Structure 1
Amino acid sequence: MKKFHTWLAVIVMTVGLGFLAPGPASATMSYCGLEWGSLADSNPAMSTASVTDVRTGQHLCFDRMVVNLNGPVAGYTAQYVPRVVQDGSGFTIPLQGRAFLQVTVNAPSYDSETGTVTYSPAAKAELSNVTGYQTFRQVAYADSFEGYTSIGLGVRARLPFRVFTLDGPGSGSRLVIDVAHCW
């Protein structure tokens, strides 16, 4: 009987450890179910709309930057770069962080017919206060030049991101950039 209890204990412990031990790592594992990458994303179309605002938000698995336009968003480019530069001048935009995303919206920050400014941030070096964000370190305006508006996004590391567009509110639209907190 004592032998039976010993073997039973060994079997129960073996099965129990199988539930507790981690399984093998997989290349398809993702953080929070997010399966994004860190390569450039772009759409070459030009927009007839203008940029009107830039804002940020925090989510459970990622930080988000939203660029509002007063019409349909068409094209954009988002990519990691060694340094964010201002179009036209080539001036380096200083950013906090260990990696830098340059986001270019194929739309100006002014009305292309009248020249009226549609987005003029009070502080170009800090479009949104990202203190306390898990991934974002700084969001800076890199200017609007020849129909393109560029924004520098300093992040804590080269992390996966995604870019997509949303309609609204009203006749406007939004370009959304999400950067994951982890790989």
Structure 2
Amino acid sequence: MRTKNRRRLGAVTLAAALAAPLGLAATTGTATAAPYCGIHWGSLPKTSSNMTTAAVTGVRSGRHECYDRIVFDLGRGKGKVGYNVRYVGTVTGPGSGLPVPVSGGARIQVTVNAPATKRIPASGTINYTGWETFRQLKWVASFEGYTDFGLGVRARLPMRVFVLSGPDGGQRLVVDVAHRW
């Protein structure tokens, strides 16, 4: 019996040793697909604690091949713009904590660490009918030097956030949300 077990063990060991260089051995890892459009952003919160005296003056949106983009324009002011951009179950108003309904399968609360002197956009809402990822942008409030927006998106998808200097001396807060993982 011992000899028979040794032969089996030897045969299994030999088979595993021959299969390993060919990539036939069993592995415990999982297969991963190449990232969509080379995107490695993830969906965790993006934050910067910077503060600026510049006011949020406008908002613009654009569609790109791999993502939808929203740009928050800020005028001139002291300091660099900070932000807190995160997926939330419910967009809430600063101060009150009251829920703000926003269309989409997922919601992003965008807090710009800067005041606003008027509602942006003027209507309070932008609907993105026919867009790949964006569904709705809603003005929430400007409260104690922070301005909040609710961004409805199709699903919880990778996002990135960064700040650009504007040609007029102002700054731009950019939020990109990928079309898919």
Same fold (TM over 0.5): yes
Q: Does 1:48 align with 2:46?
A: no
**AA in 1 matched with 2:135:** R
Total equivalences in the alignment? 150
Stretches of structure 1 lacking an aligned partner (at least 5 in a row): 1-23, 111-116
- Structure number with larger C-alpha Rg: 2
Counterpart in the other structure of 1:165: 163
Counterpart in the other structure of 1:57: 62
C-alpha contact (below 8 Å) 2:73/2:172 kept by paired residues:
yes
- Normalised by the size of structure 1, how large is the TM-score? 0.77
- Off by >3 Å, runs of 4+ in structure 1: none
Counterpart in the other structure of 2:37: 32
Cα deviation 1:20-56 (Å, max 9, x = unaligned): xxxx9426x2111111100001001111111000121
Q: 1:97 aligns with which of 84, 91, 104?
A: 104
What is the root-mean-square deviation in Å for CA atoms of aligned residues?
1.6
Cα deviation 1:53-105 (Å, max 9, x = unaligned): 01211110000010000026421000000100110111211111111000100
Q: Give the % identical residues.
A: 53
Does the residue aligned with 2:107 lie in a helix, a strand or coil? strand
Does the residue aligned with 1:32 lie in a helix, a strand or coil? helix
Cα deviation 1:120-141 (Å, max 9, x = unaligned): 53211x1x34111100010000
Distance across 2 between alignment mates of 1:56 and 1:129 = 11
Distance across 2 between alignment mates of 1:122 and 1:48 = 21
Distance across 2 between alignment mates of 1:36 and 1:62 = 11
Distance across 2 between alignment mates of 1:45 and 1:131 = 34
Counterpart in the other structure of 1:155: 153
Distance across 2 between alignment mates of 1:152 and 1:77 = 12
Q: 1:137 aligns with which of 135, 141, 154?
A: 135
Deviation of 1:169 after TM superposition, in Å, equals 2.6
**AA in 2 matched with 1:159:** L
Counterpart in the other structure of 2:123: 123
